Chains A and B, each alone.
Chain A
Amino acid sequence: MTPRLTYLTGAAALLLAVTAAAPVAHAAPSAPPAPAAPCNADSLVKETLPNGTTWQMCWRIHQLHGLVLEKVFVSSTRYPQPVQVLGAIAVAQLNVPYDNGATEYNDITDYGFGGEDLQTLGGDDCKGGSARVGSDNAPEPKRRAALCVSAEPSGLAYRLENPEENKPPLAKQGHDLVLKAISKVGWYEYITEYRFGDNGRITARLGATGDLSPSDYTTSDKGWPIGKGARSYSSNHYHSAFWRVDFNIAGAGNEKIEQYDTKRAGSGAGSAIFKTTRTAVGKEGSFTKANRRWWRVVSPTSKNKDGHPRSYQLETGANDPYEAHPETTPDVTFTQQRACEQFATGNADPQCRTSKTILDYARNAETMTNPIMWVRVGFHHVPRDEDQSPMPVHWQGFDLTPRDFTEMNTLTPPERGSVNGQPSDTP
């Protein structure tokens, strides 16, 4: 691949200069040269948020996955050296069964979020942002406004009373770099969205809008009356979404998976004692949440300046498992990276005939040297009157939060730059 790399140093330097014209003076004169661009200029997103955090990635549309992000790097004013976080991330299935038992759709592998189902951005789709043109990956591809890139306020990033008297608090407004694409499958329209925070957090989520199914009406125990009186019960249904997340922390791609559990271990003098234990997940398998349980993806080689291994933690929020399928029951599945294992279910690749679902991929419990994380987030949708029409966007997704990626908050202001560890340890 090396001969194909194009260097964007000039453009990147100009970008820094342009953003430095903003009120925040953050252009670090000692910033190292930008990394080689791994894709064409039209496929590259590289943006610096007001607090100085820069995210860089390549994007493309896949006929089935829809929006695919690859080679995701982060840097900040405090940590100007770009470090890779993700190799690739994409939606890997969207299973939509109706509670009335009549129909079930697999929107990714039976239709696809790319190709003709990808919507050309228009109207308010990308208001305040930049609509980027790229291939829709249709059988006869067209170049269209496919990706919306924007920067959006994310609320108060932090706040601390100023140690100096009569000075305003140390408080900063945070921002997200937001990338999204829109796809229409039947009556539903889906927003594939990724939010890259200036604090290193990555949020993957799927928004559903459009309209409710025009044909799935049922009885009162399987739906909700959305017309006049109590006659037409729109069927309750599920959206079980999967994402395929391929970490590549600092370009190494040999991450380890760890599960953490915290359990009651008696009582202390003042409060209950809880002990947190780590379980190494070395082999392929599927896992389910429990109270206080979480997972992280850890680089065995790349460390922050405190000597702690860099990692990202999976944080799921609202999440309804769908127990009618074994694939949509577990919350997360870890498998060894294989190019032909692209979809959580309905994987149709003649090159690996027996690999059709995440359960197939994990079946032989192979030892992982390059793990893929398959995240499932389910939403049980009970329609309501307000869902018509168009349906207000409902969201489902998860966060990837940096844990020890940098030895301090990427947004730490100079006043707090010496705060690191137990105060008595501070020189």
Chain B
Amino acid sequence: MTAAVSAVIVVATLDASAAPTPGPSAQAAAEPAAVSNPSPGPAPVTGVGDDPLTGPEVDKARAVALSPQLVAVARDVTGAKGAEYLSWEIIEGGTGRDAAFYFYDYRADELVKQIVDVTGGKVTGSFRAKDMQLPASDREVATALDLVLADPVGADVRALYTRVTGKSWSGEDKLAVEAHTYRARPADTAARECGRHRCVQLVARVTDGPFVDLNDIIIDLSGRTVVRVK
């Protein structure tokens, strides 16, 4: 409670440049619109209600979610035992600190949802489905770029880099890459498995530089293949 109390006594004032001009609205100027400006308290150990999981809660619950049974049957993006960790969320309006942890099982090509009772430290629900894709993890994005650079398409990417920057390619850290999951479009002849497979399309920019258009390259992480679309 100490943090909350100290929070409200620090009051920020509206910046002078944003104050109303004098005149008919002078009354408004006499009522500065201010909000409290609390110093953040120490990182909480546990949350209340629908508060996000804290760092320690995520660490604990993620380990619980990746159950021995899941590790035994699933494969991650590298092909190793275990499922690819994607994300977590607090379950809204749950009866306690319940959270969902999402993984991708590359062996079955299924999205896995593990419901964890964070306080009790146990999995209370487990669900799987095909043809469902959540955003790619950092490791999946990095894997996708590796696959592109190892593919014949990679020569085109390196050439594009040189065309944009005037410099020769010196390593994959020269590109800053994001990715979104890709689903096959009706007109696609290549990448037709995407959706059932976990595929990504890259949004890439030269590190500290301009974007480069890699839109026609689709990486099928399930099949570990790279194709061009359009």
Contact = CB atoms under 8 A, between A and B. Distances in A.
A324 interface: no
B9 A14 contact: yes
Contacts of A1: 49, 95-96
Contacts of B111: 348, 350
B5 A110 contact: no
B87 A42 contact: no
Contacts of A140: 58
Interface string B213-230: 101000000000000001
A112 B86 CA distance: 12
A23 interface: yes
A39 B47 CA distance: 7
A58 B134 contact: no
Interface string B1-28: 1011101110111110010100001011
A38 interface: yes
B20 A173 contact: yes
B92 A70 contact: yes
Interface stretch (B30-38, B75-83, B146-154, B165-173): B30-38
B211 A130 contact: no
B180 A47 contact: no
Looking at B33, B86, B128, which has the most chain A CB atoms within 10 Å of its CB?
A: B33
A278 to B, nearest CB: 31
Contact of B36 (A5, A15, A171, A186): A15
A186 B203 contact: yes
Interface string B154-183: 000000000000000000000000101100
A229 interface: no
Contacts of B181: 110
Interface residues of A, number: 76
B54 interface: yes
A244 to B, nearest CB: 11
A41 interface: yes
Interface in A28-78: 37-44, 47, 49-50, 58, 60-64, 70-71
Nearest to A127: B15
Given A127-B15, A140-B58, A214-B211, A40 B51 contact: yes
B50 A60 contact: yes
Contacts of A177: 35
Interface stretch (A145-153, A328-336, A373-381, A415-423): A145-153
Interface of B is mostly: loop
A190 B138 CA distance: 21
A303 interface: no
Contact of B9 (A18, A132, A214): A18
Contact of A215 (B37, B88, B213): B213
Contact of B55 (A43, A141, A351): A141
A244 B20 CA distance: 35
A88 B50 CA distance: 11
B95 A351 contact: no
A17 to B, nearest CB: 9
A273 interface: no
A231 to B, nearest CB: 17
Contact of A41 (B12, B41, B54): B41
B85 A139 contact: yes
Interface string B102-144: 0000000011110000000000010111001111011000000
B31 A22 contact: yes
Looking at B15, B37, B52, B87, which has the most chain A CB atoms within 10 Å of its CB?
A: B52
B35 A150 contact: yes
Contact of B12 (A64, A129, A137, A351): A129
A134 interface: yes
Contacts of B211: 186-187, 214-215
Contacts of A109: 134-135
A342 B127 CA distance: 17
Contact of A18 (B11, B43, B50, B137): B11
A62 B95 contact: no
B193 to A, nearest CB: 17
A254 B59 CA distance: 37
Nearest to B33: A151
Contacts of B53: 135, 141
A111 B141 CA distance: 12
A60 B125 contact: no
Contacts of A160: none
B95 to A, nearest CB: 7
A47 B88 contact: no
Contacts of B68: none
A40 B44 contact: yes
A361 B93 CA distance: 20
Contacts of A115: 87, 135
Looking at B9, B13, B125, which has the most chain A CB atoms within 10 Å of its CB?
A: B9
A137 B230 CA distance: 35
Contact of A173 (B28, B125, B127, B134): B28
B145 interface: no
A44 B1 CA distance: 12
B52 A141 contact: yes
Given A127-B18, A143-B43, A214 B210 contact: yes
Contacts of A227: none
Contacts of A40: 41, 44, 47-48, 51
A139 B49 contact: no
A1 B91 CA distance: 13
B90 interface: yes
Contacts of B3: 41-42
Looking at A11, A18, A112, which has the most chain B CB atoms within 10 Å of its CB?
A: A11
A105 B179 CA distance: 11
A58 B4 contact: no
**Shortest beta-carbon contacts, A-B, top 7:** A173-B28, A151-B33, A350-B129, A215-B213, A110-B180, A41-B4, A133-B40
13 contacts: A4-B49, A42-B40, A60-B50, A63-B135, A115-B87, A127-B15, A141-B58, A143-B55, A153-B20, A173-B28, A348-B132, A348-B133, A351-B127
